[in-house]
């Protein structure tokens, strides 16, 4: 086969692996991602293989696949975000931040709002409300129709307004 044919077949394998992953057949997905990578390594196949490993709690292997993806294509943002998420899952919030910032700045990344949402979640856990607010606002700017981003932003705003109302006492009408 030619390089172009190998790449096309690798993409077909990657797509089939993704379908299997979404159907919950993780072992078949892993095998298909590996076959895709053997045929033509892509950042996408490594990233999604890592994501599949993460479903099995194999976070070190998941991270290793993301690092391979970054080596292949440093402009692909998904593996940066995924490493940030894996660190979050391990409670390593401060370590996750630089990875999520890199995802935000990546040239090629969809869905662009995810690293903003993840940073917002971290900052809430750390009690850094203004930073969380900035990130959720960024998520809504990136994806104004994303219901989860809008809910996170409005939820934080309501929380902040409630906090200020309690701290300042009841609101008074002006004469």
What mean pLDDT is reported for the chain? 92
pLDDT digits (tens, 9 = 90+) for 10-64: 999 999 999 999 999 999 999 999 999 999 999 999 999 999 999 999 999 999 9
Neighbours of 146 (CB within 10 A): 18
The CA-CA-CA angle for residues 144, 145, 150, to 5°, reads: 70
Domain total of the chain: 2
* Same structural domain, 70 and 150: no
Residue 174: what pLDDT?
35
The answer to whether position 106 is within a domain reads no
Phi-psi sector, 169: left (phi>0), alpha (psi -120 to 50), beta? left
Distance from C-alpha of 59 to C-alpha of 149, rounded to nearest angstrom: 26
Q: Is the dihedral of CA 127, 128, 134, 138 positive or negative?
A: negative
The CA-CA-CA angle for residues 121, 125, 130, to 5°, reads: 70
**What range does the domain containing 7 cover?**
1-93
CATH code of the domain in which 161 resides: 1.25.40
């Amino acid at each position: 086969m030619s390089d172009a044919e190998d790449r096309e077949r690798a993409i077909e394998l990657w797509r089939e692996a993704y379908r299997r992953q979404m159907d919950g057949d993780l072992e078949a997905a892993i095998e298909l991602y590996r076959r895709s990578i053997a045929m033509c390594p892509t950042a996408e196949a490594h990233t999604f293989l890592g994501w599949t490993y993460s479903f099995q709690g194999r976070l070190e292997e998941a991270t290793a696949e993301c690092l391979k993806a970054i080596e292949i294509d440093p402009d692909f943002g998904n593996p940066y975000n995924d490493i940030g998420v894996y660190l979050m899952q391990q409670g390593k919030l401060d370590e996750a931040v630089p990875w999520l910032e890199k995802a935000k700045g990546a040239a090629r990344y969809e869905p662009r709002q995810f690293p903003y949402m993840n940073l917002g979640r971290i900052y809430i856990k750390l009690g850094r409300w203004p930073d969380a607010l900035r990130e959720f606002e960024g998520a809504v700017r990136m994806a104004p129709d994303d219901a989860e981003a809008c809910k996170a932003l409005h939820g934080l705003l309501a929380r902040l307004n409630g906090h200020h109302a309690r701290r300042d006492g009841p609101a008074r009408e002006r004469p």
